[in-house]
Chains A and B, each alone.
Chain A
Amino acid sequence: MSEICEVIVDGEIHEAKEGSLLIDLLIEEGVKIPYFCYHESLGADGNCRMCMVGIKGEKRPQIACDTLIKKDMEVFSNTDVIKKVRTDILELELLNHPVDCPICDQAGECSLQDFYMDYGLHESKVEIEDKVKNSKHVDLGSSVVLDQERCVLCARCTRFTTEITHTNELGIVGRGDSAKVTTMPGRELSNPYAMNVVDLCPVGALTSKDFRFSQRVWLLETHNSICHGCAKGCNIYIDHNKLKYKDDVIYRFRPRKNLEVNGHFICDEGRLSYKDVQENRQEFSTFNHIEVEQDIAISKFKNFLEQHHKNIHILIDANLYTEEIEAILEFAKSIKAEVFSPLEVYTDEGFADDMLKCSNRASNYKTIENLNISTENPNNSELIINFNHPQNFESLMQIDFCTHKSDTNSLVFAIAAFTENEGSLTNVDGITQQTQKAVKKNNPQPSIIEWLTRIDL
């Protein structure tokens, strides 16, 4: 069944695995195909009926999400018949839809809008008062808000809570055109992955309370990155925007598909961690909490180094990029310092589950392991140079490189957060992944590597 065979789509020859889903091939090859209910992570449900294609030898149009590829299959996706079928069904999808795009957060990334531009463009034939009325802005819990009128009943969200998280909070109640998605009366959507339903929802029925009304999506700039919430290394998109006269701000993290790592999803904690990244930042170098010029800070740094020749201990945050860790190791060698990345602070057994969440909450701890860096606590330190490690240890003198505000009296260098920098991380399974530099601050902080170059011993 798994032999590669040739399939003709609209006259063009494509290769695909025999027995695989036709819709996967069409999506992969960029053939225009509308669909709501199908999702790679959830499989075919066949309810929306939008992905109809013509297949040679079949009397009627078939749904591509439930069609298995056969040798020499001939598929037609853009004949007049197929276009009409899609237009007709889309009209029904939109029948009871409130068409409130101007106030809908999904606008700009809405399948319904996209398909309307492709296949619809028809006038509404139903009077507003004849539309089926349903509940709006229902707070489902877990920061997810439901608008039942915008829902196309594709059942992606309910299948997610049934088949993926097995938490079963969401379901469809009623039947016919009064069917709707909901939770049990008085119960909430509550699981650590709940907000994925917002991404799964192809329309504006499920939106994120966290993101609602904060930005129009077409204003956002998107970069690829890796979540720093734990060692899993879930792939994410960073959606950010720099408004005129304002700073570059992250508005949301979204999961980015990577079947080897996180599949299609991320946990809610990771998703919302963008806030911590940009809040309470260290924005300039300080000494005893007082801002100091860069040159002064660097000369102080050198001064401290000269005062201490033994028991210089370097702490490395296991969330730093591999390139940064390597640069720090070089630097440590040059000043004959011992290097530590105490592990205990990152261990959080309560966080772990069998889906994505990992008890080790450091995104690059594998690299610490690979580079044989000690994960013990430093002892008898005279001088500690802490590269953003969250823990502090006793020492005579301390120098900190921090992304976030520190309460030590030490010399502090402000550094770029992972979103403002780029590099590689190796996840818990040993998979090495790259991030992109996403955010460009008005007042950018140097990366650790830049600091080490500037300090230039």
Chain B
Amino acid sequence: MSFTFNQDDLNKIKELKTRYPSPDALCLPCLWMAQTKEGYISIDAIDAISEQIGLAPMQIYGVVTFYTMFHLQKPDRLQVDVCKTLSCKLCGSDEILKHLKSKDVYVNHVECLGSCGTAPMMQIKDKNYENLTNEKVDAILEELL
């Protein structure tokens, strides 16, 4: 399956190019566009981005693998990012993680998401769910699944 940017995307890319001293800077923005479209970043998308901004595909591929939020595979289930770093751990993220394992979701342990004051927390599709309890998790997932 090949990846193409539609006219809106291309206009957006054109506009962004005017905002940076070099088109190389569009690497992350374009990767985000691709991931938002398809849910992951395909090799085709990398080639399409390379064509738009001039960075070599391998450079872009190296970038994709450096950042934990980019995925090279299409997710097969709902992805739940659960923070496991210290403040969340102190406030019971282990419990939440254990609880989530019983659910039909892809549980992704992630490092600190900046919700230390509202721990424990999880993030689903860019949205934060904070001050979690098992009951809260159930309610949230029920709504989403």
Please list the residues of chain A having a beta carbon within 8 angstroms of any beta carbon in chain B: 161-162, 167-175, 183-187
Contacts and interface: CB of A to CB of B under 8 A. Distances in A.
Contact of B59 (A162, A185, A187): A162
B66 A184 contact: no
A175 B66 contact: yes
Contacts of A173: 61-62, 65-66
Contacts of B57: 168, 184, 187
A171 B66 contact: no
Given A184-B58, A187-B57, 17 more contacts: A161-B58, A162-B56, A167-B56, A168-B57, A168-B58, A168-B59, A169-B58, A171-B61, A172-B62, A173-B61, A173-B62, A173-B65, A174-B66, A175-B65, A175-B66, A184-B57, A186-B43
A172 B62 CA distance: 6
A168 B46 CA distance: 14
A290 to B, nearest CB: 57
A377 B66 CA distance: 60
A372 to B, nearest CB: 48
In the complex, the 10 A-B pairs of residues with the closest C-beta atoms, listed nearest first: A168-B56, A173-B65, A171-B62, A171-B58, A168-B58, A174-B65, A184-B61, A184-B58, A175-B66, A173-B62
Interface residues of B, number: 10
5 contacts: A162-B56, A173-B61, A173-B62, A173-B65, A187-B57
Contacts of B59: 162, 168, 171
Interface of B: 43, 46, 56-59, 61-62, 65-66
Most chain A Cβ neighbours within 10 Å, of B43, B46, B58, B66:
B58
Nearest to A166: B56
A183 B58 contact: yes
Nearest to B68: A175
A429 to B, nearest CB: 31
Nearest to A186: B43
B43 A184 contact: yes
A62 to B, nearest CB: 27
Contacts of B43: 184-186
Contacts of A171: 58-59, 61-62
A187 B43 CA distance: 11
A52 to B, nearest CB: 27
Contacts of A172: 62
A184 B45 CA distance: 13
A170 B58 contact: yes
Nearest to B62: A171
Nearest to B67: A175
A167 B57 CA distance: 10
A202 to B, nearest CB: 21
A137 to B, nearest CB: 21
A187 B60 CA distance: 14
A173 to B, nearest CB: 4
Contacts of A161: 58
A159 to B, nearest CB: 12
Contacts of A168: 56-59
Contacts of B66: 173-175
B44 to A, nearest CB: 12
B70 to A, nearest CB: 11
Contacts of B61: 171, 173, 184
Contacts of B58: 161, 168-171, 183-184, 187
A97 to B, nearest CB: 22
A167 B65 CA distance: 20
Most chain A Cβ neighbours within 10 Å, of B43, B56, B61, B62:
B62
B133 to A, nearest CB: 33
A169 to B, nearest CB: 6
Contacts of A184: 43, 46, 57-58, 61
A169 B43 CA distance: 14
A170 to B, nearest CB: 7
Contacts of A175: 65-66
Contacts of B62: 171-173
A185 B57 CA distance: 11
A68 to B, nearest CB: 28
Nearest to A169: B58
A169 B57 CA distance: 8
A306 to B, nearest CB: 66
A183 B56 CA distance: 12
A168 B63 CA distance: 13
A175 B57 CA distance: 18
A169 B61 CA distance: 11
Contacts of B56: 162, 167-168
B72 to A, nearest CB: 8
Nearest to A173: B65
A54 B58 CA distance: 38
